[in-house]
Amino acid sequence: MERSWPTGCDRSSSMSSKWASLVLLVICAGCSSAPSSQPPAVAGASVSIEPPAPQAEPPAAANDGAAAGEQDVVTTPSGLKSKVLVRGTGTEHPTDADRVKVHYTGWTQDDKVFDSSVARGEPSTFGVTELIPGWTEALKLMVVGEKRRVWIPAQLAYGTSPRLGAPGGDLTFDIELLEIVESPKAPPDVAAPPASAQTTASGLAYTFLVKGNGRRRPKQTDRVVVHYSGWMTDGKLFDSSVARGSPSTFSLHAVIPGWSEGLMLMVEGDRARFWMPAHLAYGNNPIRPGAPSGMLVFDIELLKIE
């Protein structure tokens, strides 16, 4: 069986309703392919929805804003254009390591709404680097409470001939930054296991951070509910149920070998740190697009054995 990402083992448990229509989420959105562990980047993109009631008229989406008489438009070296509609009250800007909660509406060049969290009535939360380049750049300009109109050229969006129904050409978004959700910080020993860590015959190193009061350990045939965060050895966070604010559920037989072995050492309530060498993770040259390579470090908390 092909080993999937920990969060990809049970898509029903790790996806919220926002994945159904959010077209923004795509790691390497400008690349030739997106990681298959991610939900479809353009699911629902071809479905038109009505503009939200507060937006009486669409913005000047068919041009760069300034040409339509928009004032105070700022242009960055990349070609991104934006204008502050409502000033925020925050002082910090999102970083690559953060997740954000936002409301947004997106228009194509013909003023057609193709996606809107406002229309759905539910804010969306995602990682700053999980987005198309124009979004990532725009978010880093913003503070909490700010609402900004952003004109994103095609090269910073999905291109002129995107796949899977994504909107093509230049796009316009109204984005409201509601909250910056700081991601879990990399542990100080992320580069290598400490001398105090235990090591199994396979090469899996681990140490218990919190001891639980459970009595049984999961078997290969069990499903488990966990919270976890995963880092590369340079400290880069690549996945975290903690940052998403929702535990993940999956079967032990459906995850990478280091996860299966590690979880079978745990009882409910345990929280452990694992250093998984490449051969127990995705390898040094992963076949799966976008999968992290080399040794990986995970903090895993076993919440429940189903």
Distance between CA atoms of 71 and 66, rounded to whole angstroms?
Answer: 7
Residues 247 and 132 in one domain: no
Residues 204 and 166 in one domain: no
Q: Catalytic residue positions?
A: 228, 238-239, 256, 282, 298
Residues 21 and 123 in one domain: yes
Q: Which domain holds residue 90?
A: 15-181
Q: Does residue 3 sit within a domain?
A: no
CATH number of the domain encompassing residue 75: 3.10.50.40
Residues 175 and 26 in one domain: yes
Q: Does residue 142 sit within a domain?
A: yes
**Residue 34 pLDDT:** 31
**Residue 59 pLDDT:** 59
Residues 25 and 169 in one domain: yes
Q: Are 210 and 299 in contact (CB under 8 A)?
A: no
Residues 164 and 268 in one domain: no
Domain boundary among 138, 154, 181: 181
Residue whose pair of structure tokens reads 């947004």 in the numeric block = 104
Q: Does residue 6 sit within a domain?
A: no
Domain boundary among 127, 154, 181: 181
Q: Does residue 240 sit within a domain?
A: yes
**Residue 108 pLDDT:** 94
Residues 166 and 277 in one domain: no
Question: Based on the structure, what is the number of domains in the chain?
Answer: 2
Q: Does residue 135 sit within a domain?
A: yes
Q: Does residue 9 sit within a domain?
A: no
**Can you give the chain as a three-state secondary structure string?**
CCCECHHHCCHHHHCCHHHHCCCCCCCCCCCCCCCCCCCCCCCCCCCCCCCCCCCCCCCCCCCCCHHHCCCCCEECCCCCEEEEEECCCCCCCCCCCCEEEEEEEEECCCCCEEEEHHHHCCCEEEEHHHCCHHHHHHHCCCCCCCEEEEEECHHHCCCCCCCCCCCCCCEEEEEEEEEEECCCCCCCCCCCCCCCCEECCCCCEEEEEECCCCCCCCCCCCEEEEEEEEEECCCCEEEEHHHHCCCEEEEHHHECHHHHHHHCCCCCCCEEEEEECHHHCCCCCCCCCCCCCCCEEEEEEEEEEC
Residues 116 and 208 in one domain: no
Q: Are 132 and 162 in contact (CB under 8 A)?
A: no
Residues 141 and 218 in one domain: no
**Residue 284 pLDDT:** 96
Q: Does residue 193 sit within a domain?
A: no
pLDDT of the chain, 306 residues: tens digit per residue:
234 444 333 333 333 333 333 333 333 333 333 332 332 222 223 333 344 444 435 554 445 544 445 678 999 999 999 999 999 999 999 988 788 999 999 999 999 999 999 999 999 988 888 889 999 999 999 999 999 999 999 999 999 988 777 899 999 999 999 999 878 889 999 999 999 999 999 999 999 999 999 999 999 999 999 999 999 999 988 888 988 778 999 999 999 999 999 999 999 999 999 999 999 999 999 988 778 999 999 999 999 999
Domain boundary among 117, 148, 181: 181
Residues 209 and 244 in one domain: yes
Residues 267 and 139 in one domain: no
Residues 280 and 140 in one domain: no
Residue 144, CA atoms < 13 Å, CB-side half-sphere: 14
**Residue 58 pLDDT:** 56
